[in-house]
Amino acid sequence: MVDFPALCILTDRQALPGILARIPPRKAPVTATTPPPAPTPEFPSPDPAIAPVPARPFSRRNRPVSFFDLPLATLEERVVALGGEKYRAKQLWGWAYDRLVPGYDAMTNVPAALRETLAADLPFGSMHLVREFMADDGETVKLLYQTFDGQFVETVLMLYPDRATVCVSCQVGCAVGCAFCATGMGGLTRNLTAGEIVQQTVDAARRAREMGRSLTNLVMMGMGEPMQNYAETMTFIGIINDHRGLNFGARRITISTSGIVPRIDALAKEPYQVNLAVSLHAPNDELRSRLVPINARYPISELLAACDRYIAETGRRISFEYALMSGINDSDEIAHELGRLLRGRLCHVNVIPFNPVEVLQFERPTVAGIDRFADILRAEGIPTTVRYSRGLDIAAACGQLRAKHEEERDRMAALPVAS
């Protein structure tokens, strides 16, 4: 971690250049000439029973279409094309989304011949679970999937006294490249399909049920930028929102964006009453452009204008996400500036103390500093909640588990083979 000075609270805007200078560059990626670091001792080794799938180039032509990719009407067409009766599709749909079974074999009122045909022609899911970790006394479950093309995707299930929330990923990697995010360090590999996002949700609902809970909330705040995978995101929402299946209420779904203005406008016109969260992280363009590079294309004035249009169109409140980092964006002066920026808008601020990432040189503020920042926003008239990250001991910040797994896989692959 970078050693920020103890007294790094801004007293005026003249100090901003010094703050910008303290935003550290990303560490260089490990190369063939740089031996990879030894694995963290407490990080579990890969399950030797799971054969790794080598990563291969992805194209839409070679991607498998799974059961979870299909809306009900399309599934009905597929079942008929395979020689089954149309009504069988609703039976399959109920088994998958109501009973949450893990595969075709459990669908006992569907003819065995049709199940065998479906298994060969339409895989139930296209990803398989590689690892599962638990933290917070079993109330946080992190799942690591491997996709058909050898990529890795993370999902987190978080249990609270009054709700159970799943955080899903929508891309392998991310093109936005926020300075404080582990996911974007390697750039964007590809978009996830709607089915890959649906599978994360259904698996989380099944896991929650096994723990005696019902899945109540979904946030698209995992790996990737949903607004840069917009079509698949909308297909995903349509599938899980279908009242004949999972029947997941749109108002219990939150889509997070770094600020893709045209997509915010598009979302306002969609039929789904989903919630919108905007990753703000700074109250001025100079600082935000260093933290969130997309700000250079959609500066704060344009972003907030789109938010205002969204509020006017939908009547729904927007949440602004604010990752709080010591010595970067946590000063009293910045808190007041943020309050002035958002005052009068139908909004809520979620202050998220930075989740430490091994390869990123940022630090979390002290508890007193976190509380002071939130109190200033409240005094400015901004509804504010402090949301601490879950699963700090299992690399629960998005992208961390994937990075650790890939690091360890590469290290093991480089070991000499015993003769």
Q: Active-site residues: which are they?
A: 154, 398
The rounded distance, in Å, linking the Cα atoms of 334 and 13 is 9
Of 147, 110, 144, the closest CA to residue 125 belongs to 147
Of 180, 276, 169, the closest CA to residue 229 belongs to 169
Radius of gyration of the chain (CA): 22
Q: Indicate the length of the chain as a whole number.
A: 419
The rounded distance, in Å, linking the Cα atoms of 155 and 204 is 8
SS3 342: helix
Q: Long-range contacts for 44-52 (Cβ within 8 Å, ≥24 apart)? A: 44/131, 44/133, 45/408, 46/130, 46/131, 46/405, 46/408, 46/409, 46/412, 47/130, 47/131, 50/128, 50/130, 50/146, 52/146, 52/150, 52/409
Q: Residue 382 is encoded by which pair of tokens?
A: 């901004």
SS3 380: coil
Q: Residue 364 is encoded by which pair of tokens?
A: 């979390």
CB 193 within 8 A of CB 232: yes
Greatest distance between any 2 Cα atoms in the chain: 73
Of 165, 220, 218, 216, the closest CA to residue 191 belongs to 220
DSSP state, residue 359: T
SS3 213: coil
Say if strands 188-191 and 275-279 run parallel, antiparallel, or are unpaired.
unpaired
The rounded distance, in Å, linking the Cα atoms of 141 and 124 is 23
| DSSP of 244-264 | TTT---GGGEEEEES--HHHH
